[in-house]
Structure 1
Amino acid sequence: MRSAVIVNPVKVPDRDVLHRTIVDALTAAGWPEPMWLETTVGDPGSGQARQAVRDGAELVFACGGDGTVMSCVTVLAGTDIALAVLPAGISNLLAASLGLTGDVAAGIEVVLQGGRRRIDVGCVGEQSFAVMAGMGFDVQMLVATNDDTASKPVGWLAWFAGAVRHLRDRPMRIRLILDDRLSFNRRPCAVIVGNAGRLRGGMRLLDDAPPEDGLLDVTVLSPRTLGHWLSPGWAVLRRKEVVPCMETFTASRVEIRSNRVQPRQLDGDPIESGKQLLVTVRPQALLLCVPCPTTDPGVATAGGDPSAIQHRVHRVDKRM
């Protein structure tokens, strides 16, 4: 199988070791030597992924952070070219959802075992994402946890610390429109539109987010005080069915309109701030290399009616 490695050199401490590890493993499996394409400051991976497609790659290794993986997802969505994630540096959101670590050898073994799955991708303009998009202060939380502590078992503590730093931020005033049929107003701190639900540090936010059902899961977070944050944080950590200060919905088209400019992110990578976030879904558009057999709940097979809107209100604190 012809393959290409798209690597962010900034994220890799020793490119020679990485190159040798990948080439040796693929050669031992009878694969030809892969193409080697490095990202640049001006291009985090889109141009390299397009070159890999032009040059006949059947599989692309994305070795970098969230930006590199998202760039590859955008280019490969809608093709039959498989994407393999080799997280470099801090584990990115897609790697976390797959249960992958920064062990390159383990990541290559996942590829060689042959596990493949088609998953949905979310779209915001011309960009695509595999895990989640967000609007509001979740962007600051993700940035705040983008360090070594976030990839450790206690990474949720860093995530919570990031939340505490922004407790005094004004909530947004938004209108949330689902599939052009359901529309309502809210005053949340953040809205997250997800395709899979595991954050850094193993924390799950969207447990009911099967990534191949043609639907997007929407989480509206509305805590106002430290006590409000403690309650949903503890409930999410313990995977409780009832989560205070949080509402969830599902739809295939999600539009968020804010009264003022808000920070936004795709797969943990900040994008240009704006007053609107329009998210659509491309069902089963991405061929992804996954552990075989797949037992992780975050990538479990599940069905769903893409035309249906489901509303699951966990609980809204009436004091807010």
Structure 2
Amino acid sequence: MNPLRVADPDRHRAEVTAELARHGWDEPLWYETTAEDAGAGVTGKALGEGVDLVFASGGDGTVRGCAEGLMGTGVPLAVLPGGTGNLLVRNLGLPDTIPEAVDVGVGGDTRAIDLGVLDGRPFVVMAGIGLDATMADSTSEVAKNRIGWLAYVGGAVKHLADRPFHVTLSLDDRPPLRRRAIMVLVGNVGRLQGGLELLPGARPDDGLLDILVLAPRTPMDWIRVASRVLTRSRRRDRRAERHTAARAVITVDPPVLHECDGDPLGYGTTMSIETRAGALLLRTPHGTED
């Protein structure tokens, strides 16, 4: 549990424990994340206790940390509602109330989903360079706590006029692509806050990464890009170019801010990403795999 993402941790513990007891499960072990440990370390401690299931309670960063600790272990992950992003919850139709989330955790389907791995760091939702990273970095915790995902809109608007950067993409064994862009987004799923689907057709279990290169140059370009996003168009467009690959090496000039599942990682010039097919077992509602 990320205690900063739960309004009343004691009440939260009591409600989750009561729901588990109602399903005949033992009282759970509780571990809190910290600024130094987003979830991987405490998940390792839980695995050392021989747990059958791990619940992540927090935002996408907490889910990412727990997924890192569970990668390849065969122990499934369930997600409790919390945080402001919760993009994995929205993309996979996971419950947004504690009773429903516990019910899915203990009795739902177990689905093997892919993990992206960014320079050795797993992610469950998206990683990127440019606009998405600066948007996340400039959105305050106060704003997120007050108005939720709408806070990201203000963060995005501040950076719509940022200067483009040079990008070279090496996707699998194909010839490199060279572009000028304001964002390169690599996703395991396709939907952002507010239901905006930047990567239509992205699936978390197809063994592929979905990649968006965003390169609008004029206000009219932004209107076209917005229209494509709102209509979920898959028509080819150099201002919003999409690709799929199992591996991607992205090089930029000058250095640009990077992010992983909404957490800014600092400025850099290279991002190496690959997919680990089926590396995470996730509890989902019955029938959501289709």
Q: TM-score normalised to the size of structure 1?
A: 0.83
**Displacement after TM superposition at 1:161 (Å):** 4.3
**Displacement after TM superposition at 1:160 (Å):** 5.0
Aligned pair in 2 of structure 1 residues 75, 8: CA closer, same or farther (>3 Å)? same
**Displacement after TM superposition at 1:240 (Å):** 2.2
Instruction: Note the residue ranges of structure 1 that are not aligned, 5 or more in a row.
Output: 1-6, 301-320
1:23 aligns with 2:37: no
Aligned Cα root-mean-square deviation (Å)? 1.9
Greater mean deviation of Cα atoms: 94-103 or 79-88:
94-103
Secondary structure in 2 matching 1:48: helix
Instruction: Note the residue ranges of structure 2 that are not aligned, 5 or more in a row.
Output: none
**Displacement after TM superposition at 1:159 (Å):** 5.0
AA partner of residue 233 (structure 2):
K
1:79 aligns with 2:73: yes
Residue 111 of structure 1 corresponds to: 105
Kindly provide the CA deviation profile for residues 222-271 of structure 1, in whole angstroms up to 9, marking residues without a partner as x: 01233322221122122223375211111111000112211111112212
AA partner of residue 81 (structure 2):
P
Between the aligned partners of 2:156 and 2:218, the Cα distance in structure 1 is: 10
Residue 263 of structure 2 corresponds to: 269
Secondary structure in 1 matching 2:258: strand
The answer as to whether partners of 1:132 and 1:195 remain within 8 angstroms in 2 is yes
Aligned pair in 2 of structure 1 residues 92, 102: CA closer, same or farther (>3 Å)? same
AA partner of residue 73 (structure 1):
A
- For residue 219 of structure 1, the aligned residue among 202, 212, 217 is 212
AA partner of residue 190 (structure 2):
G
User: What is the 5 A alignment of 1:152-191?
Assistant: 155=150, 161-191=154-184
- For residue 231 of structure 2, the aligned residue among 238, 242, 256 is 238
**Displacement after TM superposition at 1:43 (Å):** 1.4
Residue 192 of structure 1 corresponds to: 185
Between the aligned partners of 1:89 and 1:208, the Cα distance in structure 2 is: 25
**Displacement after TM superposition at 1:143 (Å):** 4.4
Aligned pair in 2 of structure 1 residues 212, 80: CA closer, same or farther (>3 Å)? same
Q: TM-score normalised to the size of structure 2?
A: 0.92
AA partner of residue 112 (structure 1):
V
Between the aligned partners of 1:33 and 1:182, the Cα distance in structure 2 is: 54
Greater mean deviation of Cα atoms: 140-149 or 73-82:
140-149
AA partner of residue 265 (structure 1):
E
1:251 aligns with 2:245: yes
Secondary structure in 2 matching 1:38: coil
AA partner of residue 228 (structure 1):
D
Aligned pair in 2 of structure 1 residues 234, 143: CA closer, same or farther (>3 Å)? farther
**Displacement after TM superposition at 1:221 (Å):** 0.5
The answer as to whether partners of 1:260 and 1:275 remain within 8 angstroms in 2 is yes
**Displacement after TM superposition at 1:127 (Å):** 1.0
Kindly provide the CA deviation profile for residues 39-98 of structure 1, in whole angstroms up to 9, marking residues without a partner as x: 122212121011011111121111112221111111111111111111313142212212
Between the aligned partners of 2:95 and 2:228, the Cα distance in structure 1 is: 26
User: What is the 5 A alignment of 1:29-178?
Assistant: 29-100=23-94, 102-143=96-137, 147=144, 148-151=146-149, 155=150, 161-178=154-171
Between the aligned partners of 2:253 and 2:284, the Cα distance in structure 1 is: 40
Identical aligned residues as a percent: 42
Secondary structure in 1 matching 2:3: coil
The answer as to whether partners of 1:94 and 1:267 remain within 8 angstroms in 2 is no
The answer as to whether partners of 2:131 and 2:160 remain within 8 angstroms in 1 is no
Give the structure with the larger helix fraction.
2
Between the aligned partners of 1:224 and 1:101, the Cα distance in structure 2 is: 39
